[in-house]
Structure 1
Amino acid sequence: MKKKYTAKEVRNLILDTASVLFIEKGYEQTSISDIVAGLDGLTRGAIYHHFESKYHIIVGIARRFIPEQDVLDAVDRRDDWNGLEKIQALLLEGMFNEDITKTTVVSWALLKDATFVSIYNTQMCEAMLPIIEKYIYTGIEDGSITVPQPKQMAEIVLLITTTWFIEALFPSTVEAFFEKLKAAQYVLKQSGIDVISEDVLSIIISKLTAST
């Protein structure tokens, strides 16, 4: 290698390189050898030190769309937030966390790939569903949420705030995207879990408008 990398830098270099190749050639057509060839002198052995297989690499790419554990722990420790506020914090972290933004910029086009979208949805459900369900129960106890089926509502919240906004599944213009936000706000509020409240909607619109 031309320079000495930390373990985290090596991992990110692998994920970035693989993302580009998966976008250009497709997941099935990309080999480990292709990924090795695109790295700065990194060996095949070094790749397998971090990832068991090509599948684990694409899973690693999908996981970068999810807040890191320290972020999730920080939200969980906020005793001054009720259950609804914690879910809202998770939504905003998922959309605007700087680490997520930096590490996923090279991978966004993969959200048009059916294989990646399937893995993305699986990883999102495994990582976030238990947390959202936990905070729904917390919200029911503290009065910030009123829903009859907490487990099923956790699934609905996740589907609406993640999968529904994947452009590959539901193509959308900028204007239509903002309309979808308002529709999501309405559905969730009517369901008794006002995740996209007026305050949260204002933050989302403000941040998205500033970035365009």
Structure 2
Amino acid sequence: MARNAHPEVTRRRILDAAQKLFSEKGFEHTSMQDIVNELGNLSKGAIYHHFPGKEAILEELTHRDWEASHGLLDELHQRTDLTGLEKIREVVRRSVTNETHLNIQRDAAQFLEDPTTLAHNLQSWQTTVANGFHTLIMDGVEDGSITTEYPREAAILLSLLLNYWVACAPTAADTEPRTRCVATMLAAIGLPVFNEELIDLTVRGFQAINAPSFYPEPHDTADDRNR
């Protein structure tokens, strides 16, 4: 059999097909065979050559999504037509209105019940992601749009609370009070990110994907999920 001359292209096609199916059907209701059928001209063996299972595909999609988010933070940092506060609001606005990002966040949330995965995400949220927010907060401190005396702590709070506490609210009904609570806390320390428009977008964004609880329902075995 001829060797695939463009494995990165095949890998990207698999990721794109899986992302489409995860968005339409949800991670739990998508099988490896569904991905094979969606691609049309790849065997299941060819897909397993690149990914050992759909969990690995979701992990790669999550990594790709994180890279896009970091790129957005860098892009906004370079802009001179926005204040620091406006930059942070734009990050949040794009995050809660980006359907692809929200669907990946929904699918990945169920794995937070695993202590190792949870610890890894908590570490990333309070370091890598928070560092991006901190850069924009410092832009705001310099231009006067942000008055917080706790820029580093505010960045960590924004990252942790939005990505975990709000996104993984136990029920859709909990999303709005949690969002308003975060808005109040951040405003109290000089980071008034959430106006009414952004609160509404955040609530609708997370409610639309029906973000699962931190304690999800029991799911199928690995063999069932990869069938």
Normalised by the length of structure 1, the TM-score is 0.67
Q: Is the 8 A contact 1:23 1:110 kept in 2?
A: no
Q: 1:18 to 1:94 in 2, by over 3 A?
A: closer
Identity percentage of aligned residues: 19
By how many angstroms is 1:88 displaced?
Answer: 1.2
Whole-angstrom distance in 1 between the partners of 2:35 and 2:207: 35
Cα deviations by residue, 1:92-116 (Å, 9 ceiling, x for unpaired): 1111124425x63xx6244233135
- What is the match of residue 161 of structure 2? 160
Q: Does 63-72 or 176-185 show the bigger shift?
A: 63-72
- What is the match of residue 61 of structure 1? 61
Whole-angstrom distance in 2 between the partners of 1:83 and 1:201: 18
Bigger relative contact order (CA 8 A; separation at least 6): 2
Whole-angstrom distance in 2 between the partners of 1:126 and 1:206: 27
1:154 alignment partner AA = A
Q: 1:7 to 1:59 in 2, by over 3 A?
A: closer
1:179 to 177, 186, 194: 177
RMSD: 4.1
- What is the match of residue 13 of structure 1? 17
- What is the match of residue 31 of structure 1? none
Unaligned runs of 5+ in 1: 26-33
Whole-angstrom distance in 2 between the partners of 1:53 and 1:127: 27
Query: Aligned ranges for residues 93-172 of structure 1 at < 5 Å?
Result: 93-101=94-102, 104=104, 108-113=106-111, 114-115=113-114, 117-125=118-126, 127-167=128-168, 170-172=169-171
Unaligned runs of 5+ in 2: 1-8, 211-227
Whole-angstrom distance in 1 between the partners of 2:203 and 2:53: 39
2:191 alignment partner AA = I
Q: 1:202 to 1:155 in 2, by over 3 A?
A: same
1:193 alignment partner AA = L
Cα deviations by residue, 1:11-69 (Å, 9 ceiling, x for unpaired): 233566789897369xxxxxxxx8479524345565555x6998754432333554725
Aligned length: 193
